[in-house]
């Protein structure tokens, strides 16, 4: 089997590729433009494999994408390429519209034409897996039931609205053209190799530098946290066993407030770091509350009973076990973080 992974140099995409190369006999074609959040260092352990290929291509470039499909002849597509940072989408939504909507449309069209031209025996096994987010559903109150696959879409930010749009396009290409698709919507991911502007790595790096740990508003916004290595096992399961046209919610069953997450990071750092910045007895002293961001969703939570019942998948990590692995990884890979941040600063 040969899988084309878009966004494979990103956080979840690189975890997906590392899993595919290490745990399966799949061949992988990584399609990534290498924007600020894409980094081939995340794939160092698999880059030498004869089952791995990299193509630096913009998913909005139809002719370049077509050439990749023609050259590599994939049996499946896992579409992870996306602009994904809510704050960036508020400051500059244009890139989110272009990548997440236009890019998904372009990829769908190239995949559809490729699929239609395949021999019948290969066409029957082809799959297009679109990986999305729980943020398309909007937010929940403290007493609402978690999102299910049939929850009405109500996105709040330019980011989530662009992802909702891409979900609708994928389902339309299935219904109108018969393209064999599966869709998954995941909760907040965390783990090794996450870009350092995201909450958990940002808190780790700020704490180590003795900088404030900024928490939006009261910090009581709730998210369901999913360890990235659990997520990729779910994605592979959905790709191979999911029913065509169906959607599967993937979550970590770990609802935490943002303040709880930051406190957990601090506890882990207190245990693992011997020499704290000058004057600190605990990293929690660095926590500070800042003005809330516009349209900040209050709570996300996903019901995973469908994927658990139909595909026998559940997360293997608890939040505490996943967090300890995550903090330990960052402490052992600080050079990677600083190189990524330097690259990002040079890009902008």
pLDDT per residue as tens digits for the range 115-141: 999 999 999 999 999 999 999 999 999
Mean pLDDT score across all residues of the chain? 95
Give the mean pLDDT of 282-289: 96
Statement: residue 202 has pLDDT above 90: yes
Print the domain residue range for 105: 2-195+226-253+298-320
Whether the Cβ atoms of residue 52 and residue 30 lie closer than 8 Å to each other: yes
User: Where residue 304 falls among pLDDT bands split at 50, 70, 90?
Assistant: very high
CA distance 202 to 133: 21
Statement: residue 344 has pLDDT above 80: no
Contacts 24+ apart (CB under 8 A), 85-89: 85/37, 85/159, 85/197, 85/198, 86/135, 86/157, 86/159, 86/160, 86/293, 87/293, 88/159, 89/157, 89/158, 89/159, 89/162
Residue 347, pLDDT score: 54
Statement: residue 59 has pLDDT above 70: yes
Statement: residue 294 has pLDDT above 90: no
Query: Which of 32, 134, 224, 297 is the catalytic position?
Result: 134
Query: Which of 27, 135, 139, 230 is the catalytic position?
Result: 135
206 part of a folded domain: no
Query: Which of 159, 190, 236, 330 is the catalytic position?
Result: 159
User: Where residue 345 falls among pLDDT bands split at 50, 70, 90?
Assistant: low
CA distance 305 to 148: 9
pLDDT tens-digit readout, 318-343: 999 999 999 999 999 999 998 888 87
Statement: residue 105 has pLDDT above 70: yes
Residue 346, pLDDT score: 61
Statement: residue 114 has pLDDT above 60: yes
204 part of a folded domain: no
Residue 86, pLDDT score: 81
User: Where residue 154 falls among pLDDT bands split at 50, 70, 90?
Assistant: very high
203 part of a folded domain: no
173 part of a folded domain: yes
Could you confirm whether 159 is annotated as catalytic?
A: yes
Based on the structure, what is the number of domains in the chain? 1
User: Where residue 29 falls among pLDDT bands split at 50, 70, 90?
Assistant: very high
Task: Specify the CATH number for the domain of residue 69.
Answer: 3.40.50.720
215 part of a folded domain: no
Statement: residue 223 has pLDDT above 80: yes
286 part of a folded domain: no
262 part of a folded domain: no
218 part of a folded domain: no
């Amino acid at each position: 089997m040969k899988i084309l992974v878009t966004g494979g140099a990103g956080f979840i995409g690189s975890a997906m590729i590392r899993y595919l190369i290490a745990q399966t006999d799949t061949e992988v074609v990584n399609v990534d433009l290498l924007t600020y959040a894409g980094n081939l260092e995340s794939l160092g352990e698999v880059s030498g494999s004869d089952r791995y290929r990299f193509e630096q291509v913009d998913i909005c470039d139809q002719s370049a994408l077509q050439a990749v499909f023609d050259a590599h002849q994939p049996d499946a597509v896992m579409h992870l390429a996306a602009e994904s940072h809510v704050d960036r989408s508020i400051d500059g939504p244009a890139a989110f519209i272009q990548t997440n909507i236009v890019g998904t449309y372009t990829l769908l069209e190239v995949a559809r034409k490729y699929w239609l031209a395949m021999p019948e025996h290969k066409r029957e096994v082809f799959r297009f897996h679109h990986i999305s987010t729980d943020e398309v559903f909007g937010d929940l109150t403290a007493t609402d039931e978690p999102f299910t696959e049939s929850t009405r879409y109500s996105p709040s930010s330019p980011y989530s609205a662009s992802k909702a749009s891409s979900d609708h396009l994928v389902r339309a290409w299935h219904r109108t053209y018969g393209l064999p698709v599966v869709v998954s919507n995941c909760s907040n991911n965390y783990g090794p190799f996450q870009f350092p502007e995201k909450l958990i790595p940002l808190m780790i790096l700020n704490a180590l530098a003795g900088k404030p740990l900024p928490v939006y508003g009261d910090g009581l916004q709730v998210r369901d946290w999913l360890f990235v290595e659990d997520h990729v096992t779910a994605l592979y399961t959905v790709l191979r066993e999911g029913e065509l046209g169906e959607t599967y919610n993937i979550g970590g069953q770990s609802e935490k407030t943002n303040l709880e997450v930051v406190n957990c990071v601090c506890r882990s750092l207190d245990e693992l770091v011997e020499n704290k910045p000058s004057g600190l007895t605990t990293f929690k002293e660095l926590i500070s509350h800042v003005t809330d961001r516009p349209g900040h969703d209050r709570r996300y939570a996903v019901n995973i009973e469908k994927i658990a019942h139909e595909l026998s998948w559940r997360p293997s990590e608890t939040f505490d076990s996943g967090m300890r692995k995550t903090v330990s990884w960052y402490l052992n890979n600080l050079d990677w973080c600083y190189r990524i941040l330097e690259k990002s600063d040079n890009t902008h």
